[in-house]
């Protein structure tokens, strides 16, 4: 008797998607909330409901997979799922309509993710065009571990491409987890920057690894009577705190609206029987220029 795949057993599927976002350690509450809203909006535009499994549910990915196999939902969108968190059943039958968003590694299942590199390259190019030749990458480090290594690598590639002098400086110490509210994180970043920040000579522009750190930097510089952007230009990454500081922050947009829309489309496509083939879509990030960058003061003074 021929074997029947798990995916073929999903019958009477409703027009509803299951959604899980459970990696609280890596993604901020702002990121996860924005992604969730965009997924629900995208699904609603397509006449589809979204059933979210609460992040505090015991083994939320396995719970949502049970919902799929029982026919409660027609497809799944999993955000932040590591290989260890993915139920073995999902990896055995890869024809299941499951889409990973921002996967920890490629090739596990069908996936959609935003590449930080293009937007960070645009940020470096923008600053170089404004005459900045010394650009600092500001990030967080704890016990030798850099929080956003891919963003850092993208900065160094872009610095080489646009022939600017790149530097890096990391805030060391017990920085707050992404699970904490953004105001708490900004306050903690300000305290760490107040204790440690010493801008290298000739630095006229800084790219911070996320927006919360950028807002904290702008506030710290203001306390030191250093004007942004007149004396130092500042750019963030993720575009989640663009309106959270004065001046309005230029930032690398992680395209969460597009991310949610693509994930919903892929999940519905897979649920309708389209071949999986480990579909993988990459969305390039982009720079949004606002008020926190200006021409290099030395270029202006010439």
Instruction: Kindly report, residue by residue over 201-217, the tens digit of the pLDDT.
Output: 889 999 999 999 999 99
Residue 176 has pLDDT above 70, yes or no: no
Q: Does 207 share its domain with 68?
A: no
Q: Does 33 share its domain with 177?
A: no
Residue 282 has pLDDT above 80, yes or no: yes
| 217 contacts 193 by C-beta, under 8 angstroms | yes
Q: Does 16 share its domain with 146?
A: no
Q: Does 180 share its domain with 200?
A: yes
Per the structure, the complete domain to which residue 72 belongs is given by 7-115+255-284
pLDDT (0 to 100) of residue 23: 66
Cα–Cα distance list, 103 to 41, 85, 117, 156, 262 (Å): 21, 11, 16, 23, 14
State if pTM tops 0.85: yes
Decide if 126 is inside a domain. yes
Instruction: Kindly report, residue by residue over 160-175, the tens digit of the pLDDT.
Output: 999 899 999 999 877 6
**What's the rounded Cα separation, in Å, for the pair 196 and 190?**
10
Q: Does 244 share its domain with 107?
A: no
| 98 contacts 78 by C-beta, under 8 angstroms | yes
Which of 76, 17, 24 is CA-nearest to residue 47? 17
Decide if 2 is inside a domain. no
| 89 contacts 61 by C-beta, under 8 angstroms | no
Q: Does 94 share its domain with 205?
A: no
Q: Does 132 share its domain with 205?
A: yes
> Which region holds residue 130: left if phi is over 0, alpha if psi is between -120 and 50, else beta?
alpha
| 80 contacts 22 by C-beta, under 8 angstroms | yes
What CATH number is given to the structural domain containing 269?
3.40.50.2300
Number of folded domains that form the chain: 2
Instruction: Kindly report, residue by residue over 19-71, the tens digit of the pLDDT.
Output: 999 766 667 778 888 999 999 999 999 999 999 987 677 889 999 999 999 99
Q: Does 28 share its domain with 64?
A: yes
Q: Does 235 share its domain with 174?
A: yes
Q: Does 146 share its domain with 293?
A: yes
């Amino acid at each position: 008797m021929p074997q029947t795949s798990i995916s073929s057993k999903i019958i009477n599927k409703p027009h509803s998607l299951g959604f899980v976002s459970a990696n609280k350690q890596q993604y901020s509450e702002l990121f996860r909330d924005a992604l969730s809203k965009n997924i629900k909006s995208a699904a609603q535009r397509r006449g589809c409901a979204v059933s979210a499994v609460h992040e505090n549910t015991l083994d939320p990915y396995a719970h949502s997979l049970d919902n799929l196999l029982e026919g409660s939902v027609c497809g799944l969108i999993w955000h932040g799922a590591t290989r260890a968190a993915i139920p073995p059943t999902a990896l055995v039958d890869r024809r299941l309509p499951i889409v990973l968003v921002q996967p920890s590694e490629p090739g596990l299942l069908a996936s959609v993710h935003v590449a930080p590199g293009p937007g960070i390259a645009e940020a470096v190019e923008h600053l170089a065009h404004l005459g900045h030749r010394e650009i600092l990458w500001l990030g967080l480090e704890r016990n030798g571990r850099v929080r956003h290594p891919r963003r850092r690598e993208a900065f160094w590639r872009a610095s080489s491409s646009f022939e600017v002098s790149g530097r890096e400086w990391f805030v060391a110490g017990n920085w707050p987890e992404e699970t904490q509210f953004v105001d708490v994180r900004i306050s903690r970043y300000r305290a760490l920057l107040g204790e440690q920040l010493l801008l290298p000579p000739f630095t006229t522009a800084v790219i911070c690894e996320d927006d919360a750190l950028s807002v904290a930097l702008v506030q710290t510089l203001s306390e030191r009577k250093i004007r942004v952007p007149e004396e130092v230009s500042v750019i963030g990454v993720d575009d989640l705190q663009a309106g959270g500081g004065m001046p309005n922050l230029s930032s690398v947009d992680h395209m969460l609206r597009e991310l949610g829309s693509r994930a919903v489309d892929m999940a519905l496509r897979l649920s309708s029987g389209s071949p999986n083939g480990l579909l993988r879509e990459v969305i390039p990030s982009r720079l949004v220029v606002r008020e926190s960058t200006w021409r290099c003061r030395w270029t202006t003074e010439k």
